[in-house]
């Protein structure tokens, strides 16, 4: 089974959030937004840990209470057998469990198919309370034909049998944790679904020790059969115990008997009828399990893990977890590991980070690997724009000092983007996950506070250069993404806006295309066709953006839309002629490249001695107004 969705209430900065999960779930957002809080809430749900009132969201109402809900999907026969028909009946496609902390008490519960009045009895915290509740129900509902109280265990069995015999009277209820997770910590989810959190400060030296719960310990538990070795150690312990008893009998028993007689004689001078006995006590010899040490052979030098670099230590952790997942697949187990990583790019060389992201995606993309991956990242390497629906954008919705922090998590689903693009982009283009030119620059844009969406790379270079004359856009958290044509602006805009990223759409209205074509001696029919196509393209784009349709719109049409008269090149020629002079100068001195070269354009726009004016400067102003 795999995580389908998660609900978190009152955990640290998370007041009330819902998150859908996929095979890979990527949390992005600025520092302090709450990305890691989601991962740590899940770690508490699966692995426990002590909480206190400092972990409760500061704006909670009423008694301090934290609640985390996890809904699982893709239940296997092994899952259903372990959970039982109450929690995973054959008709159910999902299974839901809760972990609740309230006023110092930690409780697990699950959604069960049960008889609601029985849940009051099951949730009793003591046998006496349970007996009182059971007898009250038995007296009130004689039609249930419940037997007399004998013991808590027998009553549990009675209720289970009654529910099995009356399926028509059952409904979905939240059932107490002793039935879901067993007694004495025997977690029913253990072995079915394991959650492993690799925190940003996790020490590889600690996780590489042979101990219970460590990553290496888990690998050894799954891969190494210590049964025969343990049996031999037990046999050896018995032999040593026998030899020790013989040695004691030979060397100590006689001496102790003599000493006991002397002590008894001394005691007899004070009291009668008592004597002293002295005898050896054989110590219990418990065989110690062999510990396994991890060391690194670094060329000719063998070192401890902690003496390796941070990047290698982190690579070792992830490699170990990959091996753990691989072995779960090889031994036929259907158990799933959810690998959660804080900042997977941490300590990684860029090429290693890129390779790491590829390996994680490849592993999680194949269900037979029984691996689900989630991470909180600041790196575009770990975002694939083709899988934009796997991105969860985390942001604070309140920034004032007088308000409690609130968090919103946005998700651009395939369905929501398809719906937004209905009539503009074919559904297959969105669902096919093709490597599209128009979305190739979105990975970085996902991390921005706002995005300027332009048609081409030259447009992008020019606006970046103009902005850098005062303040680089990156300082304001603004990126520029090029869709590579006007017709391709729709998809990146739909994705970014659905994720809640403010978008300034900038496009050429191509009003001078007919004149250019006439100058180029084009056929009148071709000129008419191109002119009509440009008008239609402008009208369609304005309609999509929610504006009044025009053939050739000009200027700042709305806070989020700018239409360039004709083309950006023609505007530069007419309104900023010094730009072309600077560009040619850069080419002539060997600093740039002639023709339409983006980098040359950017350098010229930034270094031109005359300031730009008019609409090209208005684009930068409009972009900064979005944040």
Question: Among 33-37, 337-341, 461-465, 482-486, where is mean pLDDT lowest?
Answer: 337-341
Q: How confident is the model at residue 537 (pLDDT cuts 50, 70, 90)?
A: very high
Number of Cβ within 10 Å of residue 455's Cβ equals 23
What tens digit of pLDDT does each residue of 174-232 get?
876 544 554 344 466 777 888 988 888 766 666 666 666 666 666 666 677 777 888 88
Sign of CA dihedral 243, 248, 249, 250: positive
What's the maximum distance between 2 C-alpha atoms anywhere in the chain?
137
Identify the burial level of 249 via C-beta atoms within 10 angstroms of its C-beta, where 0-12 means exposed, 13-18 middle and 19 or more buried.
exposed
φ/ψ bin of 103: left (φ > 0), alpha (ψ from -120 to 50), beta (otherwise): left
* CA-based nearest residue to 517, from 533, 541, 540: 533
Output the CA–CA distances (angstroms, integers) from residue 505 to 459, 541, 563, 619, in the order listed: 12, 10, 8, 9
Q: 391-396 and 24-28: which strand pairing?
A: parallel
* Token reading at 392: 């969860």
Q: Provide the pLDDT for residue 326.
A: 64
DSSP 169: G
User: Rg of the chain's alpha carbons, rounded to an integer?
Assistant: 35
In whole numbers, what is the pLDDT of the chain averaged over residues?
89
Share of the chain above pLDDT 90, in %: 59
Number of Cβ within 10 Å of residue 327's Cβ equals 14
HEC assignment per residue over 467-519: HHCCCCHHHHCEEEEECCCHHHCHHHHHHHHHCCCCEEEEEECCCCHHHHHHH
φ/ψ bin of 614: left (φ > 0), alpha (ψ from -120 to 50), beta (otherwise): left
Q: Provide the pLDDT for residue 443.
A: 95
* Token reading at 32: 């302090």
Output the CA–CA distances (angstroms, integers) from residue 92 to 84, 171, 520, in the order listed: 12, 12, 68
* Token reading at 174: 């939240």
Buried b (16+ CB within 10 A) or exposed e, 348-366: beeebbbebbeebbebbee
Q: How confident is the model at residue 403 (pLDDT cuts 50, 70, 90)?
A: confident
Buried b (16+ CB within 10 A) or exposed e, 167-193: eeebeebbbbbebbbeeeeebbbeebb
Q: Provide the pLDDT for residue 196.
A: 87
User: Which residues fall within 8 angstroms of residue 497, CB to CB, at 6 or more apart?
Assistant: 420, 503
The residue written with tokens 């028993």 in the block is 253
Contact 219, 105 (CB under 8 A): no
Which value, to the nearest 10 degrees, does the dihedral of the CA atoms of residues 36, 39, 41, 47 take? -130
What tens digit of pLDDT does each residue of 449-505 get?
999 999 999 999 999 999 999 999 999 999 999 999 999 999 999 999 999 999 999
Measured CA to CA, the distance from residue 417 to residue 452 in angstroms comes to 19
Q: Provide the pLDDT for residue 218.
A: 66
What tens digit of pLDDT does each residue of 349-376 get?
888 889 889 888 988 888 888 889 999 9
Q: Provide the pLDDT for residue 234.
A: 85
Q: How confident is the model at residue 402 (pLDDT cuts 50, 70, 90)?
A: low
The helix-helix angle for 524-544 and 490-498 (nearest 10°) equals: 10
Q: Provide the pLDDT for residue 207.
A: 62
Q: 407-411 and 391-396: which strand pairing?
A: antiparallel
Measured CA to CA, the distance from residue 561 to residue 564 in angstroms comes to 10
User: Which residues fall within 8 angstroms of residue 605, CB to CB, at 6 or more apart?
Assistant: 461, 462, 463, 464, 465, 466, 468, 469, 579, 612
What tens digit of pLDDT does each residue of 569-593 get?
999 999 999 999 999 999 999 999 9
Helix or strand run (H / E) with residue 68:
strand 65-73
For 145-161, what is the mean pLDDT? Answer: 90
Q: Provide the pLDDT for residue 41.
A: 98
* Token reading at 341: 């990583």
For 148-173, what is the mean pLDDT? Answer: 89
Q: Please provide the size of the chain in residues.
A: 627
Q: How confident is the model at residue 298 (pLDDT cuts 50, 70, 90)?
A: confident
Question: Among 113-127, 148-162, 207-221, 513-527, where is mean pLDDT lowest?
Answer: 207-221
Measured CA to CA, the distance from residue 434 to residue 21 in angstroms comes to 22
What tens digit of pLDDT does each residue of 235-285 get?
888 898 889 999 999 999 999 999 999 999 988 888 888 889 999 988 887
Is the pLDDT confidence value at 99 over 70? Answer: yes
For 393-400, what is the mean pLDDT? Answer: 82
pTM: 0.83
* Token reading at 429: 């283009």
């Amino acid at each position: 089974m795999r995580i389908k969705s998660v609900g978190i209430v009152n955990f640290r900065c998370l007041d009330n959030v819902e998150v859908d999960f996929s095979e890979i779930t990527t949390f992005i957002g600025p520092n302090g937004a709450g990305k890691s809080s989601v991962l740590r809430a899940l770690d508490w749900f699966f692995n426990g840990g002590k909480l206190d009132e400092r972990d409760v969201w500061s704006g909670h109402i009423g008694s301090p209470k934290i609640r985390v809900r996890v809904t699982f999907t893709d239940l296997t026969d092994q899952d259903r057998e372990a959970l039982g028909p109450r929690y995973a009946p054959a008709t159910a496609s999902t299974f839901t469990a809760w972990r609740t902390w309230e006023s110092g008490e930690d409780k697990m519960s699950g959604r069960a198919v049960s008889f609601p009045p029985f849940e009051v009895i099951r949730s009793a915290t003591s046998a006496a309370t349970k007996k009182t509740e059971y007898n009250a129900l038995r007296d009130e509902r004689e039609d249930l034909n419940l037997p007399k109280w004998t013991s808590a265990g027998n009553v549990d069995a009675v209720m289970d049998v009654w529910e099995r015999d009356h399926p028509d009277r059952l409904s979905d209820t939240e059932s107490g944790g002793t039935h879901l997770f067993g007694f004495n910590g025997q977690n029913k989810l253990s072995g079915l679904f394991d959650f492993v959190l690799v925190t940003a400060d996790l020490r590889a030296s600690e996780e590489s020790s042979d101990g219970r719960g460590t990553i290496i310990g888990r690998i050894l538990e799954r891969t190494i059969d210590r049964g025969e070795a343990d049996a031999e150690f037990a046999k050896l312990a018995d032999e040593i115990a026998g030899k020790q008893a013989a040695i004691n009998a030979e060397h100590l028993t006689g001496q102790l008997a003599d000493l006991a007689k002397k002590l008894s004689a001394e005691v007899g001078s004070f009291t009668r009828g008592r004597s002293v006995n002295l005898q050896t006590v054989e110590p219990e010899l418990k065989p110690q399990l062999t510990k396994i040490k991890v060391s690194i052979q670094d060329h000719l030098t063998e070192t401890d893990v902690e003496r390796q670099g941070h990047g290698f230590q982190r690579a070792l952790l992830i490699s170990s977890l990959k091996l753990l997942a691989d072995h779960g697949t090889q031994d036929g187990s259907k158990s799933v590991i959810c690998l959660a990583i804080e900042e997977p790019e941490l300590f990684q060389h860029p090429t290693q980070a890129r390779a790491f992201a590829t390996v994680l995606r490849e592993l999680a993309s194949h269900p037979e690997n029984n691996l689900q991956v989630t991470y909180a990242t600041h790196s575009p390497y770990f975002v694939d724009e083709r899988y934009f629906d796997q991105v969860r954008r985390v942001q604070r919705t309140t920034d004032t000092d007088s308000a409690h922090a609130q968090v919103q998590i946005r998700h651009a689903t395939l369905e929501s983007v398809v719906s937004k693009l209905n009539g503009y982009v074919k559904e297959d283009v969105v669902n096919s996950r093709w490597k599209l030119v128009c979305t190739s620059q979105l990975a970085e844009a996902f991390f921005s506070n706002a995005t300027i969406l332009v048609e081409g790379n030259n447009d992008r270079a020019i606006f970046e250069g103009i902005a850098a004359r005062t303040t680089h856009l990156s300082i304001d958290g603004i990126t520029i993404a090029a869709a590579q044509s006007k017709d391709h602006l729709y998809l990146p805009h739909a994705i970014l806006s659905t994720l809640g990223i403010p978008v300034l759409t900038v496009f050429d209205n191509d009003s001078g295309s007919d004149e250019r074509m006439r100058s180029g001696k084009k056929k009148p029919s071709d000129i008419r066709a191109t002119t009509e196509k440009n008008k239609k393209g402008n009208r369609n784009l304005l309609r999509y953006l929610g504006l009044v349709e025009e053939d050739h719109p000009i200027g700042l049409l709305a806070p989020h839309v700018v239409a360039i008269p004709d083309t950006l090149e023609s505007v530069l020629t007419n309104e900023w002629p010094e730009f072309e002079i600077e560009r040619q100068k850069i080419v002539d001195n060997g600093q740039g490249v002639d023709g339409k070269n983006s980098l040359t354009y950017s350098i010229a726009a930034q270094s031109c001695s005359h300031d730009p004016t008019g609409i090209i400067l208005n684009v930068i102003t409009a972009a900064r107004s979005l944040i």
